[in-house]
Amino acid sequence: MKVVSTAIGYPYIGENREWKRCVESIWNGHLTEEQFLSDMKEMRLNHLRRQQSLGLEFLTVGDFTLYDRMLDHAAMFGMVPSRYGWSGGKLDLATYYKMARGARDAVASEMTKWFNTNYHYIVPEYEGQPLQLTNNYLLDYFMEAKEELGLVTKPAIIGPFTFVQLSKGYDELSKASFYLKLLPLYAQVLQQLSDAGAEWVQVEEPALVLSLTPDDVKLVQFIYRQLAQEVPSVKIMLQTYFEGPSCFEELSRMPVAGIGLDFAHGGKKNMASLTKHGFPKEKVLGIGLVNGRDIWRANLAELAVDIKAVVSLSGVNEAWIQSSCSLQHVPVTVKLESDLDPVLKNALSFADEKIVEITQVASYVRDETWYGNRSVSESILAIQELARHKERKNEFVRELVTKVEPEDYRRPLAFRDRQPLQQKVLKLPDYPTTTIGSFPQSGEVKRTRKAWRNQEIKDDAYADFVKKESARWIEIQEEIGLDVLVHGEFERTDMVEYFAEKLSGFAFTKDGWVVSYGSRCVKPPIIYGDVQWTAPMTVKEVAEAQALTSKPVKGMLTGPVTILNWSFVRDDLTKAQVASQIALALREEIRALEDAGISIIQVDEPALREGLPLRKENWDDYLAWGVQAFRLATGSVKNETQIHTHMCYCDFNDFIEPITALDADVISIETSRSHGELIQSLKRNPYPLGIGLGVYDIHSPRVPSIEEIDSILDDSLKVIPKEQFWVNPDCGLKTRKEEETIASLKNMVEAARKLRQKQEQMV
């Protein structure tokens, strides 16, 4: 049997985030386009050289992007919304980035989560326009690797079914037209790659793991029959990931040369499908058992046994041993992490280490020998030592979890009864204005925090700086006229990392960066032990800010499910168990904020929806413990204390019940790029608690006009009663510049003021 080692994709960010710096340099005008493209090319080639040096046999191109791969595909097919003024031909770099980030004269395209990962993609917009192949960038990348490095690589393209499923702008009537325009372009791309010498093309169809209708399955069959007829010379590796495909039997019979399956996240389903339906021996089976979404070292002995079981069950003549999905969801390498606990570090595996695991297991499956004399025993020993770590033996936390009672999940009074009690305390006007929590982190803020972390300034000096910056923004907020203020979060880097640093059971990397969206990178904390609250985390800064104003200042916390979903989580407990530990820790912090006189506490859960299983039939269990974790964290507050929460990119239609079940007094939702869609959702599914729809897009540098915000408020009032209506931006303002933030908020407050005047005149 032939065995090949490969990876579905590699992190494009670079070991030292050189990709991020390059992208931001051209945005800031510090790089010419020529130099930018040259630097990007060198990064792509270096990534290939690196994977080759680690022993990977079949390398992938097309996993690299200048911003986002879905955006790359939209640009390649000429799916450029008319508001950007594009007139055809190869898309220029300026327009490409306008689509991603917006401009003064055009809002950015919508951005949302890539399945249930922590990565965001740009949503392609179909306007019925003629489509065209503007530039086959995959061909460029393929030839680049061939000519510069002598490598015949595997180009990767997002498949047509997934691309259309994740696009917007069409209905059932125009969907057929969309496909008829799109499929010839896919065929053209594949043919050009074949003519250039590409034997295999990785066509990624993660949407096949979603719940599909019979019509969906027929459509997928039609798509791949068409491509096989149009481009018979190309071998398609039809790649699925994140779960087992829901149409395995039909998929296995499609006219493709290979099928890739995720056995890390869809192992049970895929094994059951192989057992029931078998697998065509003439097709290549991609076995994704090295987990591309977690950072834990694999037990190589178990991995080899599992892969051999898959090979035996399938009976294939050729297998690709590969990652379960792209490795872009994990940091580049563990080698840089010199400050980690040695036991923990030894149990970690990032992208480079996972490639080594792939090559080691592939070597064993092929040759019955291990690459590296002690590789198997070392992997087993590392996992066993972590299991014995003292951080995983916190009896106080374990006992606390067992003492939770049903009443701990409930507020004393229902919303309609506690709302007047809160208003009596807060005395807010109609349509109260607020922000989501963070304010711009200037160069001075970042430099001061870095100096403090490097121990170049003392704790007292840093605390004094944060206090002064917070006081400055309290004054700015009062001048703007906001009704509910925030302290600005200048002491915080990332909304999860900040809390994780103050709770036991977490560890942190120096260079464990992954891309969240665009050039925004995060370092997810590692939950490797039991989570415990040890001291107040936010009280000092919020109480100091509250002392400076008579207006309420919100306490700002990150919710338990978001901390969980935006961290790398231990794999020896269930996620529900870890979420309960985090919730109990936050419950203590909320109690401390109340004791300090804070009357509004925001517990953000932007990642609640992100953690949903990909199939609706698996949602109930996740939502049960996810909602319970939020309610466990917030259930102990007084009736007069107002609990807020915030969510991103939320499809209200299928999420109204769990959002309501949170029982938060006010929710703010990030909706500026899809405001009209949410309005329609609220018409069908009215929301019974307080709600603020984001009135402008904080991911774009443009300042919204008063008239623009006024129009959004008018639309929102059609579906939200006055008593429940809040006015806010659609997310935190940390990444924005001070001037545009102040200008935008002034316009927002003025629009709210005009709305109050209109309502008074109507009375």
Q: Is 297 annotated as a binding residue?
A: no
Q: Is 604 annotated as a binding residue?
A: yes
Angstrom distance (rounded) from CA 467 to CA 452: 14
Angstrom distance (rounded) from CA 485 to CA 548: 11
Q: Is 247 annotated as a binding residue?
A: no
Q: Is 731 annotated as a binding residue?
A: yes
Q: How far from each other are the two terminal CA atoms of the chain, in whole angstroms?
A: 81
Cβ atoms 630, 560 nearer than 8 A: yes
Q: Is 325 annotated as a binding residue?
A: no
**CB count in 10 Å sphere of residue 311:** 17
Angstrom distance (rounded) from CA 274 to CA 268: 10
Phi, psi values for residue 4, rounded to 5°: -130, 140
Choosing from 47, 73, 675, 699, the catalytic residue is 699
Q: For residue 517, give the nearest of 648, 677, 352 by alpha carbon.
A: 648
Cβ atoms 198, 238 nearer than 8 A: no
User: In which residue are the tokens 């799916």 written?
Assistant: 79
Q: Is 670 annotated as a binding residue?
A: yes
Cβ atoms 398, 392 nearer than 8 A: no
- Residue 286 β-bridge partners: 260, 320
**Maximum Cα–Cα distance for the chain, whole Å?**
83
DSSP state of 567: S
Q: Is 601 annotated as a binding residue?
A: no
Q: Is 610 annotated as a binding residue?
A: yes
Angstrom distance (rounded) from CA 598 to CA 284: 61
Q: Is 566 annotated as a binding residue?
A: yes
Q: Is 18 annotated as a binding residue?
A: yes
DSSP H helical ranges for 442-574: 443-453, 459-480, 497-500, 539-546, 560-565
Is 105 in a helix, a strand, or coil?
A: coil
Is 372 in a helix, a strand, or coil?
A: coil
Q: Is 146 annotated as a binding residue?
A: no
**CB count in 10 Å sphere of residue 735:** 16
Cβ atoms 265, 240 nearer than 8 A: no
Angstrom distance (rounded) from CA 498 to CA 586: 13
Q: Is 118 annotated as a binding residue?
A: yes
Is 699 a catalytic site residue?
yes
Q: Is 394 annotated as a binding residue?
A: no
Q: Is 648 annotated as a binding residue?
A: yes
Angstrom distance (rounded) from CA 533 to CA 513: 26
Q: Is 737 annotated as a binding residue?
A: no
What is the CB-side half-sphere exposure of residue 528 using CA atoms within 13 A?
Answer: 29
Q: Is 294 annotated as a binding residue?
A: no
**CB count in 10 Å sphere of residue 139:** 18
Ramachandran quadrant class, 14 (left: phi over 0; alpha: psi -120 to 50; beta: rest): left
Q: Strands 120-122 and 235-239: what pairing?
A: unpaired
Phi, psi values for residue 273, rounded to 5°: -70, -40
**CB count in 10 Å sphere of residue 396:** 9
Q: Is 646 annotated as a binding residue?
A: yes
State the binding site for L-homocysteine.
436-438, 489, 604
Residues in the annotated binding site for 5-methyltetrahydropteroyltri-L-glutamate = 17-20, 113, 118, 520-521, 566, 610
Binding-site residue ranges for L-methionine: 436-438, 489, 604
Summarize the annotated binding site as residue ranges: 17-20, 113, 118, 436-438, 489, 520-521, 566, 604, 610, 646, 648, 670, 731
Q: Which residues are annotated as a binding site for Zn(2+)?
A: 646, 648, 670, 731
User: What are the residue numbers of the active site?
Assistant: 699
